[in-house]
Structure 1
Amino acid sequence: MQQREKLKYLEGEIAKGINKMKLKGDQNKSRTFIVRISSALLGAFVTIALGLQTTSLTTELKNFALICGALISVVNTLDSIAGYRALWVKQKLTLSQLYTLRNEIEFYKAGLEENDTVDEAKVQEFFAKYQSIWETASNEWLRLRKEQEQEEGEGNR
């Protein structure tokens, strides 16, 4: 495979990675928002239900507040187990690194004439950076999972 073809292949893989991280990042951003808003809304419902002064619905309002309070626990547990915010931040970092690498390659190519040979060492450098980005992302994901497992283990004591 010629160096230009290798570079083109790498650009395609970077584009796939960017699309993947954008999608996953957007999903986890939305999940983070939903979980946080749900918790806040449920907390507000508890406050309102307990604060209303009506004799005809006292029992129903207390029961509603109790259910909302229980749901807050479920939502917050989901947040701590899934770690949507931490994943979102990690994915944004990976996305930023992929954009940076893409820009470095485009800058390098902009300096080449049509008949210039692509430097093999440069292609290898770009590929090593690409591999490093994914290795760092994988290690960070594993670290987050280990932290969550430790937190779950401590919560069961």
Structure 2
Amino acid sequence: MQNQANQDRIEYLYNSIDSQISSFRMRRQENKRKATHIKIFVILLGAMTTIALGLQVDSIYGDLIKNIALIFSSIITAINTIELFFNYRALWIRYTQTTVQLYALKAELDFLSKSSEITEEQLIKIFNKLQSILAETNLEWTSFRKDPA
């Protein structure tokens, strides 16, 4: 049977891991949605630009359609710049990796808690892994902000 101090630490680790999983799952979904919407929007605007430039119309509407195509093209440039800055796709991938790592860490804690008594050393090792996962994710997030390319 686990002593009370270890039980408290186990509970703390479970709560911390569950909280982080929930947070990263939410952020992963949010970034996936944003990345997908941006990609679809850029594809649609690109197609509409191509169609507008290819239309054969009289001179009355020809200039208007070319101006609309120019506006669409400018919007595409702006959206791509925003996506490059926020890097939703890369964050989606990173947060997916982090979520998987956290699930693996929780499985490790589950395995240890089902076996014989968990030692303080094992608990510290799991805590350090949790901190390492979060630090690695934060470091990558920071690098995305410093250099979006």
Normalized against structure 1, the TM-score is what?
0.87
Q: CA deviation digits over 1:13-54, x for unaligned, max 9?
A: 100000000000100011111111111111100111111112
Structure 1 counterpart SS, 2:147: helix
Structure 2 counterpart SS, 1:129: helix
For 1:47 and 1:139, how far apart are their aligned partners in 2? 40
Q: State the partner residue of 2:74.
A: 70
Q: State the partner residue of 1:130.
A: 130
- Count matched residues: 145
Q: State the partner residue of 1:154.
A: none
For 1:18 and 1:95, how far apart are their aligned partners in 2? 6
Q: State the partner residue of 2:46.
A: 43
**How much has 1:95 moved relative to structure 2?**
0.8
The amino acid that maps onto 1:129 is K
1:95 lines up with 2:86 in the alignment: no
**CA contact 1:4–1:118 (8 Å) conserved in 2:** no
Q: State the partner residue of 1:79.
A: 83
Long gaps (5+) in structure 1: 152-157
**How much has 1:65 moved relative to structure 2?**
0.5
Long gaps (5+) in structure 2: none
Segments ≥4 residues shifted beyond 4 Å: none
**CA contact 2:101–2:133 (8 Å) conserved in 1:** yes
**How much has 1:118 moved relative to structure 2?**
3.1
**CA contact 1:90–1:137 (8 Å) conserved in 2:** yes
**How much has 1:139 moved relative to structure 2?**
1.2
